[in-house]
């Protein structure tokens, strides 16, 4: 099998990961492009000794040099090492085992485990927020609500349609939105989010059984995306990460 055929199915998920690590769609996609260019120039970098997905992420971390830290102002990210975020995201959002994350990061299982615990402790207390859920399936909505509340956040409400979402957002001013893409009346969660973002600046996490509808590479894609069925750990880590970057960006913006 050719190198292109091996890595092509994994690229949407690598873009998702890179965006989450950098907190930016632009920076994340740039990082992936840089790595692909390096990989095409040095194809021997990619070995067949490991599963293609694991090897692609390992090569990404070996070749990517676009951002090693964030400095220049006070904030959560400035005191939170990039390596710590990588360990957390690899084992939650990307669902690698700690042993696999250690291979990807050229580290040890002990160090990866320690970084994950450090990450959870560092980002937990300071991110309490008002969270809005857009989800038409009652059981899933209540499951997400339970996860959100277990993290100490407040749930502003649950919307089942695009219209309900617009009304709820205007009434509650959410600080974070968790949204499905297929809603009860046939409307789109993507459109609902666009409506809200027209007047508000809040991070958005899409939770969907159809990630391929969003990860096409043909249009702007979400920075944060969770695939159904999801684990509570994945939702928790993504919520922390999205709020972390959003608060940092707000702190860095000119007054």
pLDDT of residue 124: 66
Q: What 3-state DSSP class applies to 32?
A: helix
**What is the pLDDT averaged over residues 46-54?**
84
Considering only the top CATH level, what class is 3-123? mainly alpha
Residues 175 and 247: beta-carbon distance below 8 Å: no
Q: Which two tokens stand for residue 13?
A: 């998920």
Q: Which two tokens stand for residue 137?
A: 């399936």
Alpha helices in 42-188 (DSSP H): 52-63, 82-91, 98-104, 109-124, 138-150, 162-172
Residues 6+ apart with CB under 8 A from 202: 174, 175, 176, 177, 196, 246
Express each pLDDT in 135-177 by its tens digit. Answer: 999 999 999 999 999 988 999 999 999 999 999 999 999 999 9
**What is the pLDDT averaged over residues 118-133?**
80
Considering only the top CATH level, what class is 128-252? alpha beta
CA-atom Rg of the chain in angstroms: 18
pLDDT of residue 103: 94
pLDDT of residue 73: 41
Residues 6+ apart with CB under 8 A from 47: 55
Express each pLDDT in 196-248 by its tens digit. Answer: 999 999 999 999 888 776 765 554 457 788 999 999 988 988 898 788 778 76
DSSP 192-208: HHHHHHTT----EEEEE
CATH 1.20.140.160 spans which residues of the chain? 3-123
Q: Per-residue pLDDT for 255 more than 60?
A: no
Q: Give me the chain's average pLDDT, please.
A: 84
Q: Per-residue pLDDT for 74 more than 60?
A: no
At CB < 8 A and 24+ separation, what contacts does 48-53 make?
Answer: 50/103, 52/6, 52/7, 52/10, 53/10, 53/13
Q: Per-residue pLDDT for 34 more than 80?
A: yes
pLDDT band at 125 (very low <50, low <70, confident <90, very high): low
CATH 3.40.50.2300 spans which residues of the chain? 128-252
pLDDT of residue 195: 94
pLDDT band at 70 (very low <50, low <70, confident <90, very high): very low
Whole-number Å distance between alpha carbons of 138 and 64: 42
**What is the pLDDT averaged over residues 15-37?**
86
Whole-number Å distance between alpha carbons of 239 and 131: 10
Identify the H or E element spanning 156.
strand 154-159
């Amino acid at each position: 099998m050719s190198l292109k055929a091996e890595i092509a199915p994994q690229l949407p998920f690598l873009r998702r990961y890179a965006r989450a690590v950098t907190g930016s769609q632009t920076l994340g996609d740039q990082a992936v492009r840089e790595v692909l260019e390096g990989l095409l120039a040095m194809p021997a970098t990619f070995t067949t000794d490991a599963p293609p997905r694991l090897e692609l992420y390992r090569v990404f971390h070996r070749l990517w040099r676009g951002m090693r830290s964030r400095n220049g102002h006070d904030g959560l990210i400035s005191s939170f090492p990039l390596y710590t975020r990588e360990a957390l995201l690899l084992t939650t959002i990307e669902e690698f085992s700690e042993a696999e994350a250690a291979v990807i990061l050229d580290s040890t299982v002990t160090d990866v485990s320690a970084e994950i615990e450090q990450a959870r402790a560092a980002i937990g207390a300071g991110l309490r927020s008002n969270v809005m859920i857009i989800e038409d399936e009652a059981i899933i909505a209540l499951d997400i609500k339970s996860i959100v509340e277990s993290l100490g956040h407040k749930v502003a409400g649950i919307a089942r349609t695009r219209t309900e979402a617009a009304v709820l957002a205007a009434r509650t001013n959410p600080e974070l939105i968790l949204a499905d893409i297929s809603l009860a009346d046939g409307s789109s969660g993507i459109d609902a989010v666009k409506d809200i973002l027209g007047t508000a600046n809040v991070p958005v996490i899409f939770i969907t059984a159809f990630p391929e509808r969003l990860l096409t590479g043909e249009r702007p894609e979400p920075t944060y995306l969770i695939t159904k069925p999801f684990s509570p750990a994945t939702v928790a880590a993504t919520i922390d990460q999205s709020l972390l970057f959003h608060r940092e960006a707000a702190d860095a913006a000119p007054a």
